Structure 1
Amino acid sequence: MYSWEGIAEFVAVAETESFTAASRQLSISTAQVSRQISALEKRLSTKLFYRTTRKVSITEAGGIYYQHCRQLLDGLDEAERVLTQLQNTPKGRLRLTAPTSFGESKIAPVLNDFSLLYPDLEIECLFTNQKIDLVDSGFDLAIRLGKLDDSSMMAKRLASRRLFVCASPTYLSDHGVPHLLAELEQHNCLQGTLQYWRFQENGQEQNIKIRGSLSFNSGPALVDAALKGLGLVQLPDYYVQEHLDSHTLIPLLQNYQPDDEGIWALYPQNRYVSPKVRMLIDYMSTHLAI
Structure 2
Amino acid sequence: MKWQGINEFVAVAETQSFSLAAKNLNISTAQVSRQISALEKRLKVKLFYRTTRKVSLTQEAQLFYQHCRHLLDSLDTAEQAITNLQSSPQGKIKLTVPVTYGEQKILPLVNDFVALHNEIEVTTELTNHRVDLIDGGFDIAIRLGQLQDSTLIAKRLSQRFNYVCATEDYLQTHGQPHSLSELKHHNCLLGTRDYWRFIEQGKEKAVRVKGNLRCNSGLSLVDAALKNIGIVQLPDYYVQAYIESGQLMRILDQFREPAEGIWAVYPQNRYMSPKIRLLIDHLAKYLQ
Structure 1 letter corresponding to 2:103 = E
1:87–1:247: structure 2 CA closer, same or farther, 3 Å change rule?
A: farther
Structure 1 letter corresponding to 2:266 = Y
1:73–1:173: structure 2 CA closer, same or farther, 3 Å change rule?
A: closer
Partner of 2:176: 177
Instruction: For 2:131 and 2:261, locate their aligned partners in 1 and report how far apart those are by CA, in whole Å.
Output: 19
Contact 1:134–1:267 at 8 Å: present in 2 too?
A: yes
Partner of 1:273: 272
Instruction: For 2:188 and 2:281, locate their aligned partners in 1 and report how far apart those are by CA, in whole Å.
Output: 38
Identity %: 51
Offset at residue 195 of structure 1 (A):
2.1
1:87–1:196: structure 2 CA closer, same or farther, 3 Å change rule?
A: farther
Structure 2 letter corresponding to 1:180 = S
Structure 1 letter corresponding to 2:133 = L
Cα RMSD (Å): 2.4
Verify: 1:125 aligned to 2:132, yes or no.
Answer: no
Instruction: For 2:116 and 2:84, locate their aligned partners in 1 and report how far apart those are by CA, in whole Å.
Output: 17
Scaled by the length of structure 2, the TM-score of the pair is 0.72
Offset at residue 151 of structure 1 (A):
3.4
Partner of 1:146: 145
- 1:247-286 Cα offsets, whole Å, 9 max, x none, are 2111111110101001111111116222211111111000
User: 3-state SS of the aligned residue for 1:242?
Assistant: helix
Offset at residue 287 of structure 1 (A):
1.1
1:86–1:131: structure 2 CA closer, same or farther, 3 Å change rule?
A: farther
Contact 2:73–2:269 at 8 Å: present in 1 too?
A: no
Structure 2 letter corresponding to 1:161 = R
1:77–1:220: structure 2 CA closer, same or farther, 3 Å change rule?
A: closer
Partner of 2:226: 227
Structure 1 letter corresponding to 2:192 = T
Offset at residue 76 of structure 1 (A):
8.8
Alignment of 1:10-89 (within 5 A): 78=77, 81-82=80-81, 84-85=83-84, 87-89=86-88
Offset at residue 183 of structure 1 (A):
0.8
How many residue pairs get aligned? The number is: 226
* Larger deviation, residues 215-224 vs 158-167: 215-224
Task: Flag structure 1 segments of 5+ consecutive residues without an equivalent.
Answer: 1-12, 17-56, 58-70
Instruction: For 1:282 and 1:122, locate their aligned partners in 2 and report how far apart those are by CA, in whole Å.
Output: 17
Partner of 1:217: 216
User: 3-state SS of the aligned residue for 2:158?
Assistant: strand
Instruction: For 1:83 and 1:240, locate their aligned partners in 2 and report how far apart those are by CA, in whole Å.
Output: 47
Bigger Rg, structure 1 or 2: 1
1:278–1:226: structure 2 CA closer, same or farther, 3 Å change rule?
A: same
Partner of 2:239: 240
1:285–1:198: structure 2 CA closer, same or farther, 3 Å change rule?
A: same
Instruction: For 2:96 and 2:71, locate their aligned partners in 1 and report how far apart those are by CA, in whole Å.
Output: 34
Partner of 2:283: 284
Instruction: For 2:186 and 2:232, locate their aligned partners in 1 and report how far apart those are by CA, in whole Å.
Output: 10
Instruction: For 2:213 and 2:229, locate their aligned partners in 1 and report how far apart those are by CA, in whole Å.
Output: 9
Instruction: For 2:73 and 2:146, locate their aligned partners in 1 and report how far apart those are by CA, in whole Å.
Output: 34
Partner of 2:27: none
Partner of 1:136: 135
Structure 2 letter corresponding to 1:135 = I
- 1:145-174 Cα offsets, whole Å, 9 max, x none, are 111113311111100001110100011011
- 1:98-144 Cα offsets, whole Å, 9 max, x none, are 11111111111000000001112221111111111110011111111
Offset at residue 78 of structure 1 (A):
3.5
Scaled by the length of structure 1, the TM-score of the pair is 0.71
- 1:208-259 Cα offsets, whole Å, 9 max, x none, are 1221111222222111111111111111111111211222111111110101
Verify: 1:159 aligned to 2:158, yes or no.
Answer: yes
Contact 1:94–1:277 at 8 Å: present in 2 too?
A: yes
Contact 2:95–2:123 at 8 Å: present in 1 too?
A: yes
Offset at residue 89 of structure 1 (A):
2.7
Instruction: For 1:138 and 1:174, locate their aligned partners in 2 and report how far apart those are by CA, in whole Å.
Output: 52
Task: Flag structure 2 segments of 5+ consecutive residues without an equivalent.
Answer: 5-41, 43-69
